[in-house]
Structure 1
Amino acid sequence: MTQPCEQHPHAPTFDGLCGGCTQYPTDMVKPPGPAATGTTGYCPSCGRGDVAPSPEAYEQQRQRAEQAEAERDGAYRERAHLVALLAAMTDDAVITYAPDIEEPGWQIVYLTIGGQQCSWHIAPRDAELFEHVERVGALDVRALWDGHTTEEKYQHIAAHTAELAKGN
């Protein structure tokens, strides 16, 4: 057969294979794949999943991604406000440039909460919230990461919060 598959009607054929799919002979009967279930992005003829979405579907995906990114950035901005408040309420808070991030402008704020180090990366867009925090060099002992994980940090914060709440 020299005709391409229905999904790629303008594709050339090569030795009986659809040039759009280049996987199956155009006259081969294939078992129903994801396309049979109505899943988008799959060639209904060959079942391959590398078929581009329609322009409308692409635009919807792009808008959803932008919305998700804006929501994420908003949550990080809220977190930055709260960390800036904690820094103002904590003795010996310091901030330094983040050596572990290649993108310029990122910083790390280090706080001592309940006798233990807690640190957060601060995005360049949130830097102005931390102008009140003492800036130190990367080798300042107060800015040397002690190896705590994010999980350990929040476990410590929860325990310290519970201790503070008992005193009220």
Structure 2
Amino acid sequence: MYSSHAAYYVATQMALAHNGIIRGLNSIYLQAPNLPANDTVVARDFLIYCQCWSESMHHHHDAEEEIFFPDIENVTNVKGVMEQNVEQHRAFTPGFDKFYDYCKTCPPKDYDGAKLRSLVQDFAEPLVKHLHDEIETLRGLDKYDSKRVKQAYGRLEKSLMATDNVSNISVRPHLKLLTLY
């Protein structure tokens, strides 16, 4: 059933963002073992792609925890209303951090697609579960003031657009577009 409540708009927008995260992760998982052997340029570029994806993930979840979730707590007047989602962030963080560290520190000559894929497998399931569950949490905000829910999401969007999400990546000017293999 269609509703004009902002909770459904917010859930839809978040689902779109989460789908982008999942598609990026899928591309990493599928391409990881298929890079040409001993091509350090392609390996370097792919590792940078993985770093960019990781930075976007950090950016998204940090903004949720620092801005959006506290705002939603104020809107609902329910302490810990988003705590399940924060706990889910913590559940995938150890594996995600190992993946991110590998992408930042692996010399291209030592790139190992099977290792990268294994690192993805270590955090993918709890991440994807979280990305799905959070949508239902957001849909559940339909019992609160629609205008305030939309304002809280607007603050999140504004913050995300105003902040840099790839500050730790050293992209070289000769970075080539990745070719899918």
Answer whether TM exceeds 0.5 for this pair.
Answer: no
- Bigger Rg over Cα: 1
Structure number with higher helix proportion = 2
- For CA contacts below 8 A with separation 6 or more, give which structure has more relative contact order: 2
Structure number with higher strand proportion = 1
TM-score, normalised to structure 1, is 0.33
TM-score, normalised to structure 2, is 0.31
